[in-house]
Amino acid sequence: MSSLKRIAISAPLVALFSLAQSPVFAGGDGGGTSASYGLSNAATKSVVNTLSRGTSRCRKQPAAYRYDCYRWVYRRAANQLRNNDAYSEAQQALEQVERSLEAVIAQNRDTTQPKRRRALETYTPVKPAAIPRVKRATIQALEKAETILLRSPTNKQEHYTRIAEAINSNKVLLRSALLPGGMIRLAQTLVSGFLRQG
């Protein structure tokens, strides 16, 4: 094969290799160092949305089924980060929440009630008397995940902090539900007044 033919064949291959190394194809967002670590605003936002929207939807479930719904939310969020090494610590933190919920739900399962199905998910109920205990265990799991994320390497802190904030919001909602009804209404009133002032 002549040298001219070899150059003609190799040129497209070099161009293709260069394109594959660009931030768009490497999983980055083109914004500085994030691309080199596989972090992206799109991936982070997707996980944050899964946590926020999923938790809001789970709050509409009956209390006995709510915690297995939360487990599914954290499972889905962790799966979104699978095969992306840049989010390995975040994935592990989310999986830790899922495992903790799976264990406490299994320990407190209400076998007298049927499971509930939503699309491809099936929610296992817990005993009514065990709900406060399951709730506390959930809060502890969220706190542990939040700590893992906030201790992330410097180059990951921007993205991991956003995920930690979503987890913290979930935790705050759970904690408010532990308050007696009158205190919840008081807290809502105070928050509403603060927002009006702002």
Give pLDDT, residue 190: 46
pLDDT at 7 > cutoff 70? no
pLDDT at 198 > cutoff 60? no
Q: What is the pLDDT of residues 69-101, one digit of tens each?
A: 999 999 999 999 998 999 999 999 999 999 999
Q: To which H or E segment does residue 123 belong?
A: strand 121-123
In contact, 69 and 58? CB cutoff 8 Å: yes
**Across 19-37, average pLDDT:** 36
pLDDT at 149 > cutoff 50? yes
pLDDT band per the 50, 70, 90 thresholds, residue 193: very low
**Residue ranges of the domains in the chain?**
37-174
pLDDT band per the 50, 70, 90 thresholds, residue 125: very high
Between 13 and 154, name the one with better pLDDT: 154
Burial of residue 161, with CB atoms counted within 10 A of its CB: 0-12 exposed, 13-18 middle, 19 or more buried? middle
Dihedral sign for Cα atoms in the order 101, 106, 109, 115: positive
Among candidates 124, 131, 129, which has minimal Cα distance to 109?
Answer: 124
Give pLDDT, residue 105: 98
pLDDT at 58 > cutoff 60? yes
Give pLDDT, residue 176: 81
The Cα 60–Cα 171 span in angstroms is 16
Among candidates 85, 72, 1, 3, which has minimal Cα distance to 37?
Answer: 85
The mean of the pLDDT values for the chain is 80
